[in-house]
Structure 1
């Protein structure tokens, strides 16, 4: 299976994006009650932000996941003492499906990490998942993330976590790449 990413243009993919981010399985994405217009406005805002990028992920050419890459120093994490130069923030949402494929989400996360680390100036990837999201916690650990501490954000209590290049390379998923 070939996994690729491209900059997201929200307009042609709006119906798909809305279905993904409002799906019951996407509860931790935080857009459960968003209207189509609100989803468009959010991704148009991201597209206009030079420090935040949304990417559409495809599996063998078919839309399959959403990835966001951002500068944590210009995000709700700004000002946290753990942030360092060379950090990049990341969010990932695998498209909800009624026919799960074993190992697909792990493959997506590995591809997303490779995308984040493709920039040689990136030293660590930062994530801040909701502490209640046990599934992503397990996947994050498998790809090399280490939880630093919990952080109270406006919309959640987050597990602030970091993954260095070495952590990724020596992880169960990164080492398999």
Structure 2
């Protein structure tokens, strides 16, 4: 099986909105909580993210074609404020793979592995934190595959979430196994 490789580029909230709209409103993206979003809602949401110094959005590209969405954020300022005590070097992460009629075996695992590798390229990043919905069993398995360890369930305004962490060493051990 060939290795799936990706590159990244900053998301452009205007030119990428139509693409993202199709991804985030698809039933597969139910945990993204944008099922009823209009195109304008997606543009607005990602304009806010790209203007936010503590939240960033990138598109993962496969052969130059958008293949997934990656977001990362500073948990001292976004998403998890007051829900846990961030450590220096913590970064929060979300990723979304789009719907497809032709699933590729290992694709989503390659995506999360690439996302984690991208985050750990920054020497200041010591640990990645995620807070997926407690019912999102598929992403829990993917998170575990790249080294995440669940800590506890937390109540966010929009969901009950599983707070999980992955250090650089845990990631390296998981992907080298």
User: Do they fold alike, i.e. is TM over 0.5?
Assistant: yes
Unaligned runs of 5+ in 2: none
Q: CA deviation at 1:58?
A: 0.7
Correspondences of 1:74-85 after superposition (within 5 Å): 74-85=77-88
Q: TM-score, normalised by structure 1?
A: 0.95
Distance in 1 (alpha carbons) for counterparts of 2:12 and 2:84: 34
4+ residue stretches of structure 1 with deviation over 3 A?
none
Distance in 1 (alpha carbons) for counterparts of 2:159 and 2:5: 34
Distance in 2 (alpha carbons) for counterparts of 1:90 and 1:127: 6
The root-mean-square deviation of aligned C-alpha atoms, in Å, is 1.0
Which residue number in structure 1 is paired with residue 176 of structure 2?
175
Correspondences of 1:156-167 after superposition (within 5 Å): 156-167=159-170
Indicate yes or no: 2:139 matched with 1:136. yes
Which residue number in structure 2 is paired with residue 111 of structure 1?
114
Q: TM-score, normalised by structure 2?
A: 0.95
Which residue number in structure 2 is paired with residue 91 of structure 1?
94
Which residue number in structure 2 is paired with residue 31 of structure 1?
34
Unaligned runs of 5+ in 1: none
Q: CA deviation at 1:76?
A: 2.7
Distance in 1 (alpha carbons) for counterparts of 2:76 and 2:14: 28
Distance in 2 (alpha carbons) for counterparts of 1:133 and 1:113: 19
Indicate yes or no: 2:48 matched with 1:48. no
Q: CA deviation at 1:79?
A: 2.3
SS class of match (2:76): helix
Which residue number in structure 2 is paired with residue 21 of structure 1?
24
Q: CA deviation at 1:152?
A: 0.3
Distance in 2 (alpha carbons) for counterparts of 1:76 and 1:13: 23
SS class of match (1:157): strand
